[in-house]
Amino acid sequence: MSSFDDALNRFALKLDARSRAVFVGVATEVQRSVVHGSEVTGAPGQPVDTGNLRDSWIPEFTSPTTWQTTTNVGYAPIVEHNLRGVTFRNHGPHSVALTRVGFPRIVTKVTADMAGAR
């Protein structure tokens, strides 16, 4: 193999590693935003009375290029959309919606953090 081929292979490996790191970093930040809230997205995080809803969010890599977080708590949509018009003492509704809207800011933050960490 030529030195150019070697350099190209090293670059490809570095690119794959950085892409994966961005993917994992974005997934981690999305999980934090939905569950605990985020200054990046403005999401308040899950309200906590018992901790059941907050603790029910399960992050999962479903394939090498797909990630999701889900909950099986039946009242999660009621809290997310504040269908009962509750005034929350801690955290609040719309964490999933605000995280979705703020997703581009999450990607920007994660990539900027990684660029600064080089």
Q: What pLDDT is recorded for position 88?
A: 80
* Residue-wise DSSP of 61-91: EEETTEEEEE---TTHHHHHTTTT-PPPSSS
Q: What pLDDT is recorded for position 116?
A: 82
Q: Please state, in angstroms and rounded to a whole number, the distance separating the CA atoms of residues 4 and 63.
A: 32
Q: Give per-residue pLDDT as tens, 75-117.
A: 999 999 999 888 887 788 899 999 999 999 999 999 999 888 6
Identify the helix (H) or strand (E) that includes residue 53: helix 52-56
Helix axes 3-36, 103-116, angle to 10 degrees: 130
Q: Give per-residue pLDDT as tens, 21-68.
A: 999 999 999 999 999 999 999 999 998 888 899 999 999 999 999 999
pLDDT score of 1 more than 80: no
**Token duo for residue 117:** 């960490």
Question: How are beta strands 66-70 and 58-63 bridged, if at all?
Answer: antiparallel
